[in-house]
Amino acid sequence: MNEWHIAGEPDLHLRNDRTSYRFTTCTSVVNRIPDVISAEPGLVSLDQLGKPSYRHQIQG
């Protein structure tokens, strides 16, 4: 299960009982590739990579 509670205007409660962790984990790893490539050489922890971001590119 994946559940989110977001306080705001309006508040949001999202629950997904059929989360495919196999795909969400792969997506997170693949989306971090540009961050890893641009990181300083050596051992870098996740907090040094910065916040993950949504990358969307339309190919025409």
pLDDT in tens, 34-57: 888 989 999 988 888 888 877 776
Torsion on CA atoms 3, 22, 54, 58, rounded to nearest 10 = -130
Per-residue model confidence (pLDDT) at position 60: 60
pLDDT band, very low/low/confident/very high, at 31 (cuts 50, 70, 90): confident
Per-residue model confidence (pLDDT) at position 59: 63
* Whole-angstrom distance, CA of residue 15 vs CA of residue 13: 7
Q: 53 CB contacts (<8 Å, ≥6 apart)?
A: 31
Per-residue model confidence (pLDDT) at position 58: 62
The CA-based angle 37-50-34, given to 5 degrees, is: 25
* DSSP label at residue 40: P
